[in-house]
């Protein structure tokens, strides 16, 4: 009998929240409204990419009415957290499938954050996973820090936002203070990213990078359809969400590559 799906632990969820951010598309209203992400995708809450009924991300100003119609009146923070927890389910499932050793809540949360940000394929092929499954937790923890690079103008280089996220994940994995490790500060009970450029650590940017890389590859007759967005597997709030996400095998998605 397969193990029950493990949910994202609370501290792992707070880490993800701190790096995904929760902009409001219309500050004049009480609730949280859709906004156009810097990469041109309509998003709501903590990095939830809005998609149509076919699973395609809504892009550009022309899709504004469609995005807002899916969330009339916006959503509350509690509803945004429910969306985020649902978005994280695929990463939770992937970590459970790939890790062959027991994980406490800190280690599990750190790996889910990593997987959500970079994709299951990155974890599957990583030295991090090899060290983890070999029982060398200390060496596995240090491998988080390798994955802080992305291509800028075609050149692979570290990004401060990714570096902070990897430091936070490493600390959480080891049971340490992840907020201090990432240089985060508290403001009225909320975690706030320290400058510069907090957007660099957001998962939507990494997903767009992978989408662009996949688009450049020559088509293959047997290629499976890629998942269009990280979408929830259910709609507990009746928010008119798109259908269940289409999944691909963990190792088949193109990922950000460490140096």
Residues designated as active site: 20
DSSP 149: E
Kind and range of the H or E run holding 141:
helix 137-143
User: How is residue 244 written in tokens?
Assistant: 């269940």
Residue 93 CB-half CA count within 13 A: 13
Burial of 221 (0-12, 13-18, 19+ CB in 10 A): exposed
Residues 6+ apart with CB under 8 A from 159: 148, 149, 150, 152, 197, 200, 201
Closest CA to 227 of 253, 206, 192, 205: 253
Cis peptide before 196 (omega within 30 of 0): yes
Distance CA 246, CA 244 (A): 7
- Which runs of E-coded beta strand occur in the chain? 35-36, 42-44, 48-49, 149-152, 155-158, 185-187, 190-192
């Amino acid at each position: 009998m397969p193990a029950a799906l493990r949910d994202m632990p609370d501290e792992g969820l707070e880490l993800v929240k701190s790096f995904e951010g929760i902009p409001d598309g219309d500050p004049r209203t009480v609730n949280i409204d859709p906004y156009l992400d810097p990469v041109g995708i309509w998003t709501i809450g903590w990095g939830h990419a809005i998609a149509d009924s076919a699973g395609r991300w809504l892009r550009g100003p022309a899709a504004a009415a469609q995005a807002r119609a899916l969330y009339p009146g916006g959503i509350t923070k509690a509803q945004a957290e429910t969306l985020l927890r649902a978005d994280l389910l695929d990463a939770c499932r992937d970590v459970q499938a790939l890790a062959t050793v027991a994980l406490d809540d800190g280690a599990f949360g750190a790996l889910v954050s990593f997987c959500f940000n970079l994709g299951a394929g990155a974890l599957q092929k990583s030295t991090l996973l090899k060290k983890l499954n070999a029982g060398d937790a200390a060496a596995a923890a240090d491998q988080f820090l390798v994955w802080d690079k992305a291509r800028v103008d075609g050149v692979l280089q570290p990004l401060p936002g990714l570096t902070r996220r990897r430091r936070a994940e490493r600390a959480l994995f080891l049971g340490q203070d992840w907020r201090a490790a990432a240089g985060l500060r508290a403001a009225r009970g909320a975690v706030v990213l320290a400058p510069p450029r907090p957007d660099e650590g957001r998962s939507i940017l990494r997903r767009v990078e992978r989408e662009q890389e996949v688009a450049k590859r020559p088509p293959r007759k047997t290629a499976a359809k890629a998942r269009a967005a990280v979408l929830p597997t259910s709609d507990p709030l009746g928010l008119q969400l798109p259908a269940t996400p289409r999944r691909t095998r963990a190792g088949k998605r193109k990922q950000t590559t460490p140096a």
